[in-house]
Chain A
Amino acid sequence: MTGGSGSATGVTVALPHPGASRQTPLVRLLENERLLAGLLLAPTVVLLTVFIAYPFLMGIWLSLSSTSVGNPGKFVAFQNFVKAWNDSIFRTAFGNTFFYTFWATIFKLALGMWLALLLNRHFRGKRIVRATMLLPFIIPTVLSTFAWRWMFDPTFSVVNWVLYQSGLIVTKLPFLSNGDLAMWCAIVVNTWRGMPFFAITLLAGLQTISPDLHEAASLDGANAWHRFWHVTWPLLKPVTVVVVVFSIIQTFADFQLIYVLTGGGPANSTHLLATYAYQLGVNSGLLGEGAAISLFMFPVLFIVVWVQLRYIRRLEGA
């Protein structure tokens, strides 16, 4: 900003706004708050409209049509939904999705809370332990799930080896070749992967709680459990609700873990909505039916998001 101070005659003019004299029309336009906001938001709005809103509407259209690969299809109203509902594999996938989400979320919350409480204490090597704890969350899920699949291998499972050597089992457990057991294996892997997310976000919440509160409670004779239940938990509840909602959405819509671990098998017994939609929509090319199955996720996701928004509003209002 050289303004008018550098004139050769030595006459300096004190300008309150040295830049004002050089304002181009564009700069003046950018001073308009509404216009600037529109410009700044344009890239985001365009991208999200083209790649989220438009596909969403198109998905609804596809789900109401008999489109498949190479066949434009026609409007069939709710036939795809009815057909899915009468399909026994779909029923299994639908039930599995709730089962998987419910148990995985419970385990992640319980273990994550426990780990957060442990990490909230002072000990040597705290930073490095906290950093390693996040590794399952950082490493691509597909790659770590392969390690788990190898650990659950029918013939060479290391888990079986350990159980056998310690005398807990006499024959190999069919981890991934039995439908029920395979579902629990998937829940274990999902818990392993998602628990650090719970732990670290809850830890961040814990660190905002003043130690004085705990000291006061213990002076009043509260034991560890009472201190947790009456001091920590009420203060931690807002962040817990948000983390649980995020996790429910991610788990409910999970795809990659099942795709790699079981591929939906054995005999289609471990499909989730997303993997079954993939099987029909991409592998079999039935775009209409696949889109309909994906959309079965929508009501649940919608309710969860709605609850979350209401909860945030209430917190902000309070």
Chain B
Amino acid sequence: MVIERRWKRWVFFYIPITLFVIGTLFPFYWMAVTAVRPDEELYRSWRAAHNTPFWTLHPTIAHFQDLLARTTFLHWLWNTFFIACASTAISLFCGLLAGYALARLRFPMAGALGTSIFVTYLVPPTLLFIPLADIIRNFQLGNTPWALILTYPTFLIPFCTWLLMGYFKTIPKELEECARIDGATRFGAMVRIIFPIAVPGILSAGIFAFTLSWNEFIYALIFLSSPEKKTVPVGVVSELIRGDIYFWGQLMAGALLGSVPVALVYSFFVEYYVTGLTGSVKG
């Protein structure tokens, strides 16, 4: 190891990493403090006496109660969850099959198809949202969860395919060949031998896809219109700001509650998520 002096360790390591942690977490802390701070403290002049901007001595759950009473927040949570799960399931299904085909089977145009799936991965939703809104209207899918369940896979499938293809390539071919000598069909070997081995890869792709769909905003903003059908990000934007008035307490309470489920899923599967994240950029 490279030896270093104590003061150097402080200057070049402890202080920078502490600043990084504070900078990363402060907005979330601020979200939480605002959510439990009573209104008269929120909207008090910043030069007022006895100002305690970084904490509150009178925490309240009024904002959470207002949020649940005045909006259909629980509906939004459920919608977001349902849409995220359904689109993740569809993407995993398609990604598993396509990833296997691209990794294992020989067929004409395999290279071109792999490249074009990779390219669609790089197409941002903001390039397509206007024509897509028209298509969704024509398919009579507007204002239904299916508009999102069917469009989210467009950015999830390429990622899942890419990640799982990489995973399948690391599984030795001999395993499948053994199964086939024992009489398994090609399809059977894929489903019973290869897919079970790929479970960690499937989990990584699934967790990553789930957080991506929980995060998605522009399609949800455009395709959904009735308040009770919205997802959390869209609901918070469109229902908690009336005209120019921001209900900061409720907004932050909503932001906090909307973040908790995805943060929980993440905290249980950090390692899988990181594998998915780093795998998502590897060729």
Report if A and B associate in a common complex.
Answer: yes
Report yes or no: B267 in contact with A37, Cβ–Cβ below 8 A.
no
| Dominant SS among interface residues on chain A | helix
Which residues of chain A come closer than 8 Å to B53, judged between CB atoms? 158, 161
Report yes or no: B277 in contact with A44, Cβ–Cβ below 8 A.
no
A151, B44: Cα distance in complex, Å: 14
Report yes or no: A56 in contact with B131, Cβ–Cβ below 8 A.
yes
Given A62-B134, A143-B255, A256-B217, A135 and B25 touching (CB < 8 A)?
yes
Report yes or no: A281 in contact with B126, Cβ–Cβ below 8 A.
no
Kindly identify which residue among A55, A156, A218, A304 contacts B128, using a CB–CB cutoff of 8 Å. A55
Report yes or no: B233 in contact with A312, Cβ–Cβ below 8 A.
no
Decide yes or no whether A190 CB sits under 8 A from chain B.
Answer: no
Report yes or no: A51 in contact with B278, Cβ–Cβ below 8 A.
no
A305, B42: Cα distance in complex, Å: 46
Decide yes or no whether B21 CB sits under 8 A from chain A.
Answer: yes
Nearest CB on B from A166, distance (A): 13
Nearest CB on A from B41, distance (A): 10
Kindly identify which residue among B106, B115, B127 contacts A253, using a CB–CB cutoff of 8 Å. B127
Given A27-B185, A135-B24, A305 and B262 touching (CB < 8 A)?
no
A: number of interface residues (CB 8 Å): 112
Kindly identify which residue among A139, A157, A301, A312 contacts B263, using a CB–CB cutoff of 8 Å. A139
A-B contact count (CB 8 A): 293
Which residues of chain B come closer than 8 Å to A114, judged between CB atoms? 16
The bracket for how many chain B residues form the interface is: 35 or more
A131, B258: Cα distance in complex, Å: 19
Given A115-B20, A131-B267, A197-B277, A34 and B108 touching (CB < 8 A)?
yes
Which residues of chain A come closer than 8 Å to B34, judged between CB atoms? 147, 150
Chain A positions 139-189 with a Cβ under 8 Å from a chain B Cβ: 139-144, 146-148, 150-151, 153, 155-158, 160-161, 164
Kindly identify which residue among B134, B214, B259 contacts A58, using a CB–CB cutoff of 8 Å. B134
Report yes or no: B27 in contact with A148, Cβ–Cβ below 8 A.
yes
A256, B233: Cα distance in complex, Å: 10
Report yes or no: A147 in contact with B186, Cβ–Cβ below 8 A.
no
Decide yes or no whether B245 CB sits under 8 A from chain A.
Answer: no
24 contacts between A and B (CB under 8 A): A33-B186, A39-B97, A40-B100, A40-B105, A43-B93, A44-B161, A47-B150, A48-B120, A48-B157, A52-B128, A139-B263, A143-B236, A144-B259, A147-B34, A148-B27, A158-B54, A192-B27, A200-B277, A204-B278, A239-B281, A246-B280, A260-B237, A277-B130, A290-B130
